[in-house]
Amino acid sequence: MSLLATCSKQDADTNRFVILAKHAPSPRITEVAFTKNEGRFLLEWIAYHRLIGVTDFLIYTNDCEDESPALLDRLQETGIVVHVPNPIAPGEQPQNKALNAAAAHPLVTAADYVLQIDPDEFLVVKTGDGTIRDLIATAPDADGICIQMRFFGDSGLSRLPNGLAIEHLTHASHENFEHNANVKTLARNVPAFSRITANHMPVFAEDAATPPRMFNGGGEEIIGLAERSTRVPDAARSMRYAQLNHYCVRTLADFRAKKHRGTAANNDKKLHRKFFDLRNRNDVEDTTIFRHIPQTKALMAEWLRDPALAARNRRCFEAYEDILKKSETAFDL
């Protein structure tokens, strides 16, 4: 039985998580995310990251117009994720509220490592079998491995066909693109971090006996990083062993849908045409992620044998089509 198979949304209390944690694989890696109106993409994202080594998923949703909450509820019932509704009051930021709550969640406190990424971000490990274990092996002494983003463009598509986004979006920025210095962090659960669920990097503990040891995606220690940052210094950039494929805009149609839902940090004004053009990078072909596509499809097919899950996933696609139609007329980009 899966670690979470017996945990319903109503009875997943701290004691149960602690008891079940004893039977989890080692290392235990929890992925934390927050999402709205992205149900069409969720099954692909979850299956892919399960295959490369994520053991637990903690996913928050707010104000969805699609079937994301229902989809995630069914995935929780089958033991694949934990879904937490994240209702937002006026003036609250969905991102901050979710990450603050996640810091104390048993799936985070019991984890060996925590990875906070979004459903448009895919961790790609380029060494060994392409798993998170292989990435950890490149920097076994690291408290945090800072994984640079690599921005992917629309690959000439005006909108995404059905199927996997990672299979259709094959063109990306050059490695030296300025914004590729932005990172997300695979963080070890250690006292050197005071809040491990912070965006980009964990918060460094001011009272720690020694600062956390931070490494880049090339297995090299980042010297002189004294506090949390959103990016690595230029001198420490490396995608040798890992990168974070960031399908930030997907296609123009999907970018309109993104503008329709807004950002989790309440900074919607940034979603303009210049933002799209800057991040719609199609400089080089990069299909490194393709090694995991057959297994990702196979795992999705296995899960979708469940009629209830299949129906909810189908409704996510249908709802997303409605959102695409709404956003096409609402936003002239």
pLDDT tens per residue across span 91-144: 899 999 999 999 999 999 999 999 999 999 999 999 999 999 999 999 999 999
- Structure confidence at residue 265 (pLDDT): 59
Window from 12-21, 81-90, 229-238 with minimum mean pLDDT: 12-21
- Structure confidence at residue 22 (pLDDT): 41
- Structure confidence at residue 46 (pLDDT): 98
Q: Residues 79, 5: contact at Cβ < 8 Å? A: yes
pLDDT tens per residue across span 50-98: 999 999 999 999 999 999 999 999 999 999 999 999 999 988 999 999 9
Alpha-carbon torsion angle 262, 267, 270, 275, nearest 10: -70
pLDDT of 156 higher than 80: yes
Give backbone dihedrals phi and psi of 240, rounded to 5 degrees, phi first: -60, -45
The structural domains of the chain, with segments of one domain joined by +, span: 14-327
Query: What is the residue type of 199?
Result: N
Residue 266 CB contacts under 8 Å (≥ 6 apart), including other chains = 93, 94
Q: Token pair of 7, please?
A: 């945990």
> What interhelical angle do 68-77 and 307-330 show, nearest 10?
160
Residue with tokens 């969805």: 64
Tell me, yes or no, if the pTM score tops 0.85.
yes
pLDDT of 21 higher than 60: no
